[in-house]
Amino acid sequence: MNEASKEISESDLINLLNDIHFDRIELGLRKVNFFDILQISKAEIRHSNFLGWLFDPNEAHGLKELVLKRTLRDIFSDERAVGLNALDADSIDYRNVEIKREWQNIDLLILIDGKIICIENKVDSKEHSNQLNRYKKIVQDNFPKRQIVFVFLTPQGDLPQDVNIGYIPYSYVRFNENLEKLMEIYGNTLNQKIQNYINDYISVLKRNIMKNDYLNELAIKLYKSHKTTLNFIFENMPDLEQEIHELFEQKVIESGWVLGSRNKGYVRFLTPSLNNIIPRYDSNNGWPLREAFLFEIDFFWTSKNALNIKTIISPGEDTKRDILKDVLSKVEGAQKPYGEKWISHFILKKKFEFEKMNELDEMERMTKINSIWSDVEELVNKVETAILNDGRMSK
């Protein structure tokens, strides 16, 4: 925390709340927006889904091929669209458009009139793992006789890291301009529900993706007037790690278990029966509550693409550690003890793409947690049974 943040007082926070720009922003954010309600305004997957819907002439939005045609005019105007120009977008047969979503992990693949349009969509993240080259090879291998155009869609039309890769940079700024023009001309011909959906999407693009909505401008003015106060608030914001931590803890509680010593990136717990008999050491052992044993979910430190479900015997009194080691070593599936001070007989690795959690709303995040929970329950139940049946920890 910086020195300025330490000087924040209650009156500074009250002054922020009383600022007219704060009221205007709050009022603007209260306006009902379909995408904000679903908490998907920055999720790349959801943006790609909505783009796919708009691009499909056969969908019920009522704009037919207009959104796709305007977009292709821009894309085909780029010199990297070899053998194509803007006029080709108007001569395409739009009756048999096929839109593929997440095909081979590619965000959008448009098959139209002998052509393939491959779109990699980056709303709030950067390209990684040579993915553009990989996707290019996949499409070329699968459609060797098609005319293929590769598109890199970002908020401001950023160039790919490899500028010679052949991807055409395209921006949400330009896409939004086209969509706004189409709504000015054809909006009144659409039913009210569709108008609301598309206008909400335009608002989301301007506010959350391009950062040029009127609320963004008000936010800048507010920040300049209350920079120190807002920095203090930002420093105390919950981050993704904390949000996921809270969901795991919620799941532990819903399972009827008892939370143990807390630590960043870990969720530790016991069953009620084990909580009654697992000893707490008198001296410090590295855990705040000094438990001799805990179940542990490591969702942050192990890997960005996996989590570990563990049993952990902590440093402490040798007799109690020896009992726990003996009991756990006899549980079905136990491995050779790992570690010296902190001993694990079970380390179950499960797929868990932590960084992708940013793209999911709370319900979707909990669905991911639920998908691995049967493995957690299985381990907990058999270890609990073994310790209780042994009886030595109860004495």
Q: What tens digit of pLDDT does each residue of 313-335 get?
A: 999 888 989 999 999 999 999 99
Q: What is the pLDDT of residue 163?
A: 83
Residues linked to residue 210 through DSSP beta bridges, in sequence order: none
The pLDDT of residue 3 is above 50: no
| C-beta atoms surrounding 137 within 10 Å | 11
Q: What is the pLDDT of residue 1?
A: 40
Q: What pLDDT, in 10s, does the model give residues 96-108?
A: 899 999 899 899 9
Q: What is the pLDDT of residue 28?
A: 52
Whole-model pTM over 0.85: no
The pLDDT of residue 380 is above 90: yes
Residues 6 or more apart from 392 whose CB is under 8 A from it? 323, 327
Four-point Cα dihedral 120, 123, 127, 129, nearest 10:
-80
Q: What pLDDT, in 10s, does the model give residues 134-171?
A: 999 999 999 998 999 999 999 888 888 888 899 999 99
Residue spans of the domains in the chain: they are: 3-227, 240-394
Q: What is the pLDDT of residue 218?
A: 63
Name the pairing type of β-strands 306-313 and 293-298: antiparallel
The pLDDT of residue 27 is above 80: no
Q: Which of 148-157, 229-238, 304-313 has the lowest mean pLDDT?
A: 229-238
The full 3-state SS of 217-269, as one line of letters, equals HHHHHHHHHCHHHHHHHHHCCCCHHHHHHHHHHHHHHHCCCEECCCECCEEEE
Mean pLDDT calculated for residue range 351-359:
80
The pLDDT of residue 343 is above 70: yes
Higher pLDDT pick, 306 / 297? 297
Higher pLDDT pick, 241 / 324? 324
Chain mean pLDDT for the chain = 84
Q: Shortest CA distance to 58 belongs to which of 106, 110, 23?
A: 110
Mean pLDDT calculated for residue range 43-58:
84
Residues linked to residue 308 through DSSP beta bridges, in sequence order: 298, 349
